[in-house]
Amino acid sequence: MTKDQITAVLERVRAWPEERQAYAAEILLVIEAQDVSPLRVDEWQAIQEGNAEAERGEFVSDAEMAAFYKRHGL
């Protein structure tokens, strides 16, 4: 992708709704952080999905957690 193409995309992003702009900025910051962090984008997405599940009140049962701990010797 050329610098002109990047500039064009960023100009279009400025016309997006604020929520989409914020999401795009968040993704770009994660990508930028990869230069100094071992966290990959797919790991970040998994964290975001887990946070969203928690916000919706979607948790595993105590029995499922007990089985997990047992499986992993904890």
Tokens at 74, concatenated: 């904890």
Confidence (pLDDT) at 63: 93
Tokens at 28, concatenated: 């770009």
- Judging by beta carbons within 10 Å of its beta carbon (0-12, 13-18, 19+), is residue 15 exposed, middle or buried? exposed
Percent of the chain whose pLDDT exceeds 90:
47
- For residues 54 and 46, the answer to whether their CB atoms sit within 8 Å is no
Q: What is the pTM of this model?
A: 0.46
Which residues neighbour 16 within 8 Å (Cβ) at sequence distance 6 or greater? 24
Query: How far is the C-alpha of 54 from the C-alpha of 13, rounded, in Å?
Result: 29
The pLDDT of residue 73 is above 70: yes
pLDDT per position as a tens digit, 40-68 = 777 888 888 988 998 899 988 899 999 99
